[in-house]
Amino acid sequence: MAFIHEKPSPCLTRIEKARAEVSPALYAFVEKEALPGSGVDPDTFWAGFAALAVKLMPQNRALLAERDRLQAAIDTWHKDHSGQADRPRPPTPLS
């Protein structure tokens, strides 16, 4: 999800709700399937969704950075061990 102050991917169409930009698929699911009959007002839902996304953004960025670090370590290990018939098992990601 991108916010107004962030530049969204140029290849993705977004719908703005409560200062959050969401995919059309998520918007359609929430508006047409999740909320009807739930008693939750759509504007209230989107405001809460946007607030929660903002609150969790630092943690999400940290997790994405950790994912990138782990993937780089995995890529390096495979590069360093390519072509070895009896190559050792890669270390666990947390070692």
pLDDT tens digits, 66-87:
999 999 999 998 888 887 766 6
- Is residue 59 one of the residues assigned to a domain? no
Helix (H/G/I), strand (E/B), else coil: 7: coil
Q: Which two tokens stand for residue 36?
A: 């009807």
Please state the domain count of the chain: 1
- Is residue 27 one of the residues assigned to a domain? yes
- Is residue 7 one of the residues assigned to a domain? yes
Q: Which residues of 35-50 are buried (b: 16+ CB within 10 A; e: fewer)?
A: beeeeeebeebbeebb
- Is residue 57 one of the residues assigned to a domain? no
Does the pTM of the predicted model rise above 0.75?
no
- Is residue 50 one of the residues assigned to a domain? no
What percentage of the chain has pLDDT greater than the value 90? 62
Q: Which two tokens stand for residue 85?
A: 């018939």
Q: Which domain holds residue 19?
A: 1-43
Please, which residues have CB within 8 angstroms of residue 12's CB and are 6 or more apart in sequence?
A: 23
Quote the distance between the C-alpha of residue 14 and its chain's center: 15
- Is residue 21 one of the residues assigned to a domain? yes
- Is residue 25 one of the residues assigned to a domain? yes
